[in-house]
Structure 1
Amino acid sequence: MSIRHGLLALLDQGPHYGYQLRTEFEERTGATWPLNVGQVYTTLGRLERDGLVAPAGEDGEGHVFYAITDAGRAELRDWFGTPVRRDSPPRDELAIKLAMAVTVPGVDVREVVQAQRRHSMRALQDYTRLKARALAADLSAAGPDPDGPDPDGPDRDLAWLLVLDQLIFQTEAEVRWLDHCETRLARHRPAPAAPQAPATAPQASAPAAPQAPARRRGSGSARR
């Protein structure tokens, strides 16, 4: 994510100070990538060093405003006109985790995949609910407004919807990739067979009940 160019895009609309830039950035992206004020001012310092922004005075509360320079506008236009490179993809924690998991003994990789799928599915449901609310708000904002239309409102809503669409598509792709990972794992690492119950030993026959001794003939007969 290019915070540098995001701030230039905001400054292209007029001078801002650091906290304003932070608020504007988070509003337009739905706080998907939150910034802290220190990060904003650090980036502004680098932009000023490179001649892309310049101080533009202070207000009564001591806030230092920054304005974009001609060189800054040229870099911003170049950023908008240049595709995002894919030959050097950013590090993906999930891909790194699975790559490590299959090489570390004792890790249940299938459980790692299943746990991530459950989390991704919950995130997908959350993003879908947010999109439904954003669409409802967009339709509501399109109705008559007694105070007049907000010129920035439709563009802000559209920006948030584009971010939500990207998050939804990205998460859907992640779930499909996890399904693919599970299939590949099953091919290379068949699940261990379930242990069979030990065979039961044959039951010993119950001992025969003792019988009364046979009575001898003539025993106990009366003497003649």
Structure 2
Amino acid sequence: MSASFVLLGLLSSGPKHGYELKRAYDRSLPNAKPLAFGQVYSTIGRLERDGLVERAGQDRDGGPDRVTYELTELGRQTLDEWLGTVEPPAPYVSSVLLAKVVVALLTAEPERAGSYLADQRAAHTTRLRELTRSKHDPTANIGDVITADFTIAHLDADLRWLRTTLDRVAELHQETQP
């Protein structure tokens, strides 16, 4: 995920300073990779350099100076283009889960792979239940719910893959046993 485009999207509703952007990011994408304050400010600096945002004001409010930023017309156009571009399906599989299973199988230890898969399946199931409950939390906003839906769909796909892989590992184990 590109922090630049998320910050442009957050600024599309109006000017904000760095702290407000960080809070809005955390609120809007609660299950995403955390965005550090330093990353917010360095990203805003690049967006400003590229003419996508500009300073809209500055206030002090009892603490250090806070610079407020807003989208420029170019920033709005860039955001619209990004939102209008279809994301191609990922060409490569990048998953620690897959890597661990493959490595366990490469070490000729199907029992180890089977044990790892069973443990991972239990962890996925626990997380799936947590997310399902979180969707019914009265304080959950639409961002929380759709993020939970997205994560649940991916966990569900992982669980189907884990089940299929457990079956394949069990078959392999039976074939290797005399």
Q: Same fold (TM over 0.5)?
A: yes
Structure 1: state its 5+ residue gaps: 139-156, 195-224
Q: Which has the higher helix share?
A: 2
> May I ask how many residue pairs the two structures share in their alignment?
174
Q: Does residue 98 of structure 2 align to residue 95 of structure 1?
A: yes
Q: CA separation in 1, counterparts of 2:145 and 2:92?
A: 24
Q: Structure 2 length as normaliser, TM-score?
A: 0.86
- Distance of aligned partners of 1:20 and 1:80 in 2 relative to their CA distance in 1, 3 Å threshold: same
Q: What is the Cα deviation at residue 174 of structure 1? A: 0.8
- Distance of aligned partners of 1:46 and 1:30 in 2 relative to their CA distance in 1, 3 Å threshold: same
Question: SS at the partner of 2:16?
Answer: coil
Q: Structure 1 length as normaliser, TM-score?
A: 0.70
Identity within the alignment, %: 32
Q: What is the Cα deviation at residue 29 of structure 1? A: 2.0
What is the root-mean-square deviation in Å for CA atoms of aligned residues? 2.2
**For residue 110 of structure 1, what is the aligned residue in structure 2?**
114
**For residue 89 of structure 2, what is the aligned residue in structure 1?**
86
Among candidates 169, 178, 182, match of residue 153 of structure 2: 169
Structure 2: state its 5+ residue gaps: none
Q: CA separation in 2, counterparts of 1:113 and 1:101?
A: 10
Deviates more, 1:122-131 or 1:180-189: 180-189
Q: Does residue 46 of structure 2 align to residue 50 of structure 1?
A: no
Greater radius of gyration (CA)? 1
- Distance of aligned partners of 1:182 and 1:3 in 2 relative to their CA distance in 1, 3 Å threshold: same
**For residue 35 of structure 2, what is the aligned residue in structure 1?**
35
Tell which has more relative contact order, 1 or 2 (C-alpha 8 A, sep 6+): 2
Deviates more, 1:67-76 or 1:83-92: 83-92
Q: Report Cα offsets for 1:164-221 as digits up to 9, x if no partner.
A: 1111111111111100111222233427659xxxxxxxxxxxxxxxxxxxxxxxxxxx
